[in-house]
Amino acid sequence: MRRQTFSFLSPIHQATRQIAIHLTAPCAAEGVSPAEGHLLSYLRSYGPCPVGALLKVFGHKGSTATSMLARLADRGLVVRETSPEDRRCVLIGLTRRGASAADRLRERLVALEGAIRSRLGKREIAGFEAVMRAIEIVTRPPAGKESSS
């Protein structure tokens, strides 16, 4: 048997794909892709928020985010509004329909999280958290070198 070279990155990549596949049907029922469903869920917790904040959180290119937001707006799930504090800033928020869809998707995420957690002990969860902290630390850009993408 061949030794796995990427003992952290390969399982994380695989888990990310499995989660996306698991969420494909519930997202499709809402008329969105898993990436769009993730955006709706984020906006339910943190919206309305500036487009720039969404770019930073999700790491999408501007053109990708613009296309995604246009599709969600066309489906009546999000609205774009000018910020009352800065008229140059566009805020993205959920419509009532978007909030309802986000709530249904959030229920699925809570159930998935609970199912995963129920199969783990405290030490396993602590180990997972330690790995995630290590990833955050070693991938953090040096001070003053933050990416603008």
Decide if pLDDT at 149 tops 50. Answer: no
Decide if pLDDT at 77 tops 90. Answer: yes
Mean pLDDT of 138-149: 73
What pLDDT, on a 0 to 100 scale, did the predictor assign at position 142? 84
Hey, what domains does the chain have and what are their CATH numbers?
10-138 (1.10.10.10)
Decide if pLDDT at 148 tops 60. Answer: no
Mean pLDDT of 11-33: 94
What pLDDT, on a 0 to 100 scale, did the predictor assign at position 118? 97
3-state helix vs strand vs coil in the chain, percent to 5:
65, 10, 30
List of residues 6+ apart from 103 with CB closer than 8 A:
44
CB atoms within 10 A of CB 78: 26
Decide if pLDDT at 144 tops 80. Answer: no
Decide if pLDDT at 64 tops 70. Answer: yes
Cα(34)–Cα(31) distance, integer angstroms: 10
Mean pLDDT of 29-55: 93
What pLDDT, on a 0 to 100 scale, did the predictor assign at position 84? 86
Task: Give the whole-number percent of the chain exceeding pLDDT 70.
Answer: 94
Question: pTM higher than 0.95, yes or no?
Answer: no
- Does 83 or 78 have the greater pLDDT score? 78
